[in-house]
Structure 1
Amino acid sequence: MYSSRNMCLKWLLLLLIAVAGGAVAAASSAVRRDGGVTYDRRSLIIAGRRKLLFSGSIHYPRSTPDMWTSLIAKAKEGGLNTIDTYVFWNVHEPQPGQYDFSGRADIVRFIKEIQAQGLYTILRIGPFIQAEWTYGGLPFWLREVPGIVFRTDNEPYKFYMQNFTTKIVDLMKSEKLFASQGGPIVLSQIENEYQNVEKAFNEAGARYVLWAAKMAVGLNTGVPWVMCKQDDAPDPVINACNGRSCAETFVGPNSPNKPAIWTENWTHLYDLYGNATRIYKPEYIAYQVALFIAKLNGSFINYYMYHGGTNFGRTTSAFTLTSYYDPAPLDEYGLINEPLWGHLRELHAAVQNCSDTLLYGQQTNYSLGPLQRAYVYSGDERKCAAFLVNADRNNTDIKFQNRTYRLPAESISILPDCNIVSFNTAKVAAKCTERIRVPTMKFDSPMLWQEWREVIPVFDSTTLRSNLLLEQMNTTKDTSDYLWYTAEYEVPADAKAEIKIGSRGHVLRAYINGRLVGSAHGYFRNFSFTLDTTVLFHRGVNTISLLSIMVGMPDSGAYLESRAAGLVNVNVLGNQGSKNLTDKYPWGYQVGLVGERVQIYSMNGSSKVPWSKYTISPNQLTWYKAIFDAPGGSDPVAINLNSMRKGQVWINGQGIGRYWISFPKPDGMPSQTWLHIPRSFLKPRGNMLVLFEEEMGNPLGISIGTVYLKKLCNRYNSYPFLGFSSTRRS
């Protein structure tokens, strides 16, 4: 809790920022005619006109450049006029001062494609983004800056954050991509959901918010800035809502001169290994959008995600699937997901049909019944638009302007002329679709496969040594999911003993003298666990080899730079006495796998190991390789790994992602079995498939196939949708 003195200081700083950014603040209350973007209490003002923006998140690194044109076109066809994307700091600056804007990281090409199709862009720079992306988008090298504390009033962090933010803004300016220069970018975001962690930093958190706002405004982009989930965003920065029901939870603009903005309308809850899939009904999403517009004068809604895409390689955050937001309006492959895409398209058309009335008219609202309400907008030339809300779980007849209307349960009817219903959120006309995957090649012959077994290291083979258990992230520096802990343990005679190993996550495989003796893993938000098993030690020196495995880096929360992973204690308990191997005991370390070191998954690296014929008997810690031709046609391609257990996949040296078939959802089914292979990763012939299997998966069950959609029916009630868990009140 702030003292009155500190609150006074905070508001004084706010006043100083407002004065320093006076030109920007003044522009927000006046219409500019030079192509810049301003705002008032109703909306963003673009080229002198208020705009009602329907936006969708499409992340350029989660797709490929050859997909971008189609994704944007389908979003436009779905009624969007804006595309939103985060900027991925760790993608663009993998090492300090070394920048990458090529391939999937070519953000300029992505934004220019948006511009070419006549859409606006929202640029969410962050540069902390969370986004279920490894380390929340922060480059790992940032963790090693002396004295750094992320996302607070900390000079080292602010230096690098400002440096990268300026780099991105300057890049956009050089390409004339801000709307003030004639480009498509009409809004930028600084920070991301900071309110979730601000209290952890006490007064330093409040100072950081003020600094970040001033820094961003001072970059003079000619377009407004937004802070999502930051109720006290300093003027002239706009505060915005994130969530699935912002029509009901948003506190509203923190100034009478700011518009109501919804930066993340969740179309799904991202999937995690071991968790049940949770999907929102199209009716529910449409209801919330319509209510946000009607009730709060909402003029900007961004769907997060509109296209989820793929977390290629090792880019996911902890326990997040390789497939990201697959049930979005455009699925992982970029295919249209019905009925969600079509239902929202009809909603967008109905709203845009009366957008001038909504943006320039006067709102009134009044009760139509205990759980029914009318929101009416009246404009010039007798223009009128109405939203009739029924928050009851039952169908209801109401009287509106001397006419009777039947309102379905938990729905909103949109009347662009205050007379005829053009859209109702509960009436889904779009047909549902089923996604079909057709195998075109099965890898069911042992002759197709070669294998090479990963070497289990011993203490003598290691060069990195310590007399304590090292923290994993500081040791691997995020160059690998894998860290080997090795030690020698001597006993005078053959004996059974209990070995107890504590880990901060995420997965552990224990080997004694090269033999697997146990495995264990944590869970999302409960990463820590203990592996406790009985082992047989042979007389003399025994080798302990412990493979600690991460399944993605953390992506959120305060003090991210201090997060830890890996082993915390190792104890041996037996009749010949107990031994604590945690401290003051020699350990040897190997970062990563031998196969990773030689890049066995690449064409050059593959020749550096002695591959052998497949032995038919599945093995642990084994690399598998096969050659295949690309499926014909242009349909998306995917690989079915249902027969495997846990590991990673590469195609022609490109990381497709992680798989974890052996960690099922509560219903016993795998979280994900099919992984997307972009067409641009493939050659017509001679493609190299490489897998690293940690457990004992069977590669003979793998297949590659194409993906297409089949329209099925008008109803989809059998699907496990969520939404309307309680009676809605308007």
Structure 2
Amino acid sequence: MRLTMALLLAGFLSINTLAQPGKTNRFAVQGDHFVLDGKPFVVISGEMHYPRIPRAYWRQRFRMAKAMGLNTITTYVFWNVHEPKPGVYDFSGNNDVAEFVREAQQEGLYVILRPGPYVCAEWEFGGYPSWLLKDHETRVRTSDPKFMAPTARWIARLGKELAPLQVGNGGPIILTQVENEYGSFGSDHAYMEQIHKLLVDAGFTQSQLYTADGPEQVPNGSLPELPVGINFGGEEDGAAERAFAKLKEVRPNGPFINSEYWAGWFDHWGADHANTHADKQADNLQWMLAHGYSVSFYMFHGGTSFGWMNGSNGDQKGSYEPDVTSYDYDAALDEGGRPTPKYFVFRDLIAKSTGITASPVPEVAPAIRTPEARFVESASLWENLPTPIRSDHPLSMEDVDQAYGYILYRTTLQSADQGELVLDELHSYAQVYLDGKLLGTLDRRLKQDRLTLPATADKARLDILVENTGRINFGKAIGGERAGITKQVTLGGKELTGWEIYPLPMNNTASLKFSKQPCEGACFYRASFELSTLGDTFLDTSQLTKGQLWLNGHALGRICTIGPQKTLYAPAPWMVTGNNEVIVFDLQGKMGAAVRGLDKPVLGAPPTKESPVAR
């Protein structure tokens, strides 16, 4: 039976009285729809992720969601930010996911929780911590005991944070997802049952558990005892109707929820900026609401994959497409949290479909321009190397307990030689030096893994500086996503041995000693600018080449001259009145380059072809 508009309205009216701290409720499936305390409830949610939004802005983003007409917020939980080392947990600051959930409830919103442990999300390694790959035999996302043991430990620990915040315990969490789009990866239902049981054992019994997949993958990824959500985009006419028709072939009785409604898309380095179609997305949304179906916008607000946290697309055939730092996603709220024209299209449609007038749209302070900051101080990478690790063969980042950043491989060529230098397998970008001189670059994105080494002098020093550009987060290839040089290096067909390996996680720029001595190439460069009034800004990186940028110690993200992204989002809470310090590590930098804050982002030109509609 299809929900009537009266029932839809009832679901919306309940939000003002039931999303209150401390009041226990029951959320469940009844027939073809959800019920909250026995009354029909249509979920209209929007996804946003706590690590992608400065903590100081969480509450403001919730209020923007409420003003668009949403009654729920959806979020993943990112294992890698919470357990950076085995058994070492971090739920502080921007990683305080429980506080994120509590603040959503305080603003009158329910929560859909997606604890994974795999999350995809265009996030580094799909949210898995890289240390899972230190044992080369571990098979992630399978029933392999070497994977399941740390997974069980993690989910049990997460339960202590979030199980008390389920709706049946007086919290806002109404739905909890089991795994994530597993049907696009495999069809091992025994593995899915294991993840299901771990969540139950961790206390996730007071919200409605469910699985989510693309419509065609539901048979592979679903469990018979749990309801199913389907994920799809709205870029084509009739997309929603076709998707639910496909679902009904295997789940004719519902409930019916579009658990990821792709109302936008993400960007790769070297490609075009996504610019999707709000009119078609609105048409598909209207069809779902008219049928009383639940929906969660992916994304309502994308935010920023700060620091090293961008993921990559790729496959086992060698394709590699790293994502940019911005997760603007062409979403209803832009990267800085400001409403786009799409926001108001969706807001009007939701109000007309439900008969409920949303709260007024809060004012958002405009972004500001900042003075130019010119890089006049530097610290050479080569003069700031740590103590090396010695190994006959190259070791990956995971082998040396490193997650992100760069890693340097150094060896001495024992005799005058020349020939083809091959890096097997390079993950993901390298600069090759001979006796300190840059010979060339190799980029996994371009399927490059070799270059010709010229004739060398005896005892020449070979340096290979490797960047982890972002581990693949989707598909079968994730199991082989160790970073660095993951196999061997050969010259003229012979393996090179005797390596000094320098881990360069770059997680403490405060320890660098800067001077005004000239520096060129792989160096850290420092600049500063003064502010009398604070505001968000977008740092123009167009004079820089490739690397990472920090503002007052906060890792804002990656720079890359190929675009499409040419600015980095700098939130006001991370700046100060007075002096603000900017540090950039630029692989091919020069003294005298500058950055300045713009009041609008530069994310690239619109694409010349249709945006994809399938993940």
TM-score interval for Structure 1 and Structure 2 normalised by the shorter chain: 0.7 to 0.9
Deviation at 1:452, TM superposition (A): 1.5
- Which residue identity does 1:327 align to in structure 2? D
Letter in 2 for 1:484: L
Q: Secondary structure at the match of 1:547?
A: strand
Contact 2:120 2:473 in 1 (8 A): yes
Confirm whether residue 646 of structure 1 aligns to residue 546 of structure 2: yes
Alpha-carbon deviation of 1:721? 8.9
State how far apart, in whole Å, the 2-side matches of 1:101 and 1:676 are: 24
- Corresponding position of 1:267: 263
Query: Which residue identity does 2:539 align to in structure 1?
Result: I
Tell me, what secondary structure is at the counterpart of 2:115? strand
8 Å Cα contact 1:518-1:533 kept in structure 2: no
Residue 483 (structure 1) shift: 1.8
Instruction: Measure, in 2, the Cα distance between the counterparts of 1:347 and 1:326.
Output: 20
In 2, Cα distance between equivalents of 1:551 and 1:544: 22
Q: Is residue 483 from structure 1 mapped to residue 407 from structure 2 by the alignment?
A: yes
CA apart distance, 1:80? 1.0
CA contact (8 A) 2:48 2:302 kept: yes
1:215–1:451 Cα change, 3 Å: closer
Residue 381 of structure 2 aligns with which residue? 454
Deviation for aligned residue 1:185: 1.1
The match for 1:53 among 18, 43, 55 is 43
Aligned to 1:439: 369
> For residues 724 and 288 of structure 1, what CA distance do their matches in structure 2 show?
16
Aligned-partner SS, 1:519: strand
Structure 1 residue 146: Cα displacement: 8.6
Q: Which residues in structure 2 correspond to 1:503-514 (within 5 Å)?
A: 503-514=425-436
Measured in 1, the distance between the counterparts of 2:606 and 2:474 equals 31
- Tell me the number of residue pairs that the alignment of Structure 1 and Structure 2 aligns: 559
Question: What amino acid is the match of 1:640?
Answer: D
Bigger relative contact order (CA 8 A; separation at least 6): 2
CA distance in 1: counterparts of 2:151 and 2:325, whole angstroms? 28
- Cα offset for 1:48? 1.9
Q: Is contact 2:189-2:223 (8 Å) kept?
A: no
Task: State how far apart, in whole Å, the 2-side matches of 1:38 and 1:120 are.
Answer: 14
SS in 2 for 1:167: helix
Q: Residues 651 and 570 from structure 1, CA distance in 2 versus in 1: closer, same or farther, beyond 3 angstroms?
A: same
36-45 or 476-485, larger mean C-alpha shift? 476-485
Contact 1:243–1:264 under 8 Å retained in 2: yes
CA shift in 2, pair 1:651/1:581, >3 Å: farther
User: Retained in 1: the 8 A contact 2:50–2:94?
Assistant: yes
CA positional deviation for 1:278 = 2.6
Q: Which sections of structure 2, spanning at least 5 residues, go unmatched? A: 1-22, 234-238, 313-321, 358-364
Indicate if the aligned counterparts of 2:397 and 2:407 stay in contact, CA closer than 8 A: no
Q: Which amino acid aligns with 1:441?
A: P
Counterpart selection for 1:329 from 328, 332, 335: 332
CA displacement 1:145-196 (0-9 Å, x = unmatched): 696422222334333323322333332244xx21112321111111001001
Q: Report how far residue 687 of structure 1 moved.
A: 2.2
**1:548-590 deviations in Å (ceiling 9; x for gaps):** 2220122222373443444455444xxxxxx44425x322221
Match among 156, 175, 180 for residue 166 of structure 1: 156
- The verdict on how the C-alpha distance between 1:499 and 1:158 changes in structure 2, with shifts beyond 3 A counting, is closer
Task: Sort the Cα spacing of 1:326 and 1:256 in 2 relative to 1 into closer, same or farther, 3 A.
Answer: closer
2:125/2:481 contact within 8 Å kept: no
Query: In the superposition, relative to structure 1, how do residues 541 and 209 fare at CA in structure 2: closer, same or farther (>3 Å)?
Result: same
Structure with larger Rg: 1
Answer yes or no: is 1:239 the counterpart of 2:161. no
Q: Deviations over 1:666-687 (max 9, x none)?
A: xxxx211110112221221222
Corresponding residue for residue 347 of structure 1: 349
Letter in 1 for 2:65: A
Aligned partner of 1:671: which letter? P
Where does residue 182 of structure 2 map in the other structure? 194
Helix, strand or coil at the partner of 2:370 = strand
535, 540, 548: which one aligns with 2:454:
535
- The two structures have a TM-score, normalised by structure 1, of 0.71
Instruction: Give distance in 2, aligned partners of 1:109 and 1:221.
Output: 20
- Partner Cα separation in structure 1 for residue 108 and residue 40 of structure 2: 17
Larger displacement relative to structure 2 (528-537 or 114-123): 528-537
State whether structure 2 residue 172 is matched by structure 1 residue 184.
Answer: yes
- Unaligned runs of 5+ residues in structure 1 are 1-32, 200-204, 356-434, 573-578, 664-669, 710-717
- Is 1:656 aligned with 2:578? no
Higher share of residues assigned strand:
1
Alignment of 1:161-310 (within 5 A): 161-174=151-164, 177-199=165-187, 205-217=188-200, 219=203, 221-229=205-213, 231-232=218-219, 233-244=222-233, 245-250=239-244, 251-252=246-247, 254-294=250-290, 297=291, 299-310=293-304
1:291 is paired with a residue whose SS is helix
State the partner residue of 1:590: 502
**Which residue of structure 2 lines up, in the alignment, with residue 696 of structure 1?**
589
Residues 330, 589 of structure 1: CA spacing in aligned structure 2 closer, same or farther, 3 A cutoff?
Answer: same
State the Cα distance separating 1:64 from its structure 2 match: 1.1
Do 2:46 and 2:74's aligned partners in 1 also have CA atoms closer than 8 Å?
A: yes
1:365-384 equivalences in 2 (<5 Å): none
Contact 1:476–1:483, Cα closer than 8 Å, also in 2: no
C-alpha distance 582-145 of structure 1, shift in aligned 2 (>3 A): closer
Q: Check whether the contact 1:507–1:550 (CA below 8 A) recurs between aligned residues.
A: yes
Q: 1:204-229 deviations in whole A, cap 9, x for unaligned?
A: x1211233334434535222111110
TM-score of the pair, normalised by structure 2? 0.83
What SS does structure 2 have at the residue aligned with 1:236? coil
1:376-416, Cα deviation, whole Å (9 max, x unpaired)? xxxxxxxxxxxxxxxxxxxxxxxxxxxxxxxxxxxxxxxxx
Within 1, Cα distance between the matches of 2:148 and 2:176?
18
| Two-structure CA RMSD over aligned residues (Å) | 3.1
- Distance between the aligned counterparts of 1:348 and 1:629, measured in 2? 44
Asked if 2 retains the 8 angstrom alpha-carbon contact of 1:267 and 1:279, the reply is no
Q: Secondary structure at the match of 1:334?
A: coil
Which string of whole-angstrom CA distances, capped at 9 and with x for unpartnered residues, describes residues 445-480 of structure 1? xxx62111110799xx9742333333x243343434
Alignment identity in percent?
25
* Per-residue Cα deviation, 1:269-328 (whole angstroms, up to 9, x for no partner): 21110122233211111122223344xx45211111111111111111131111013421
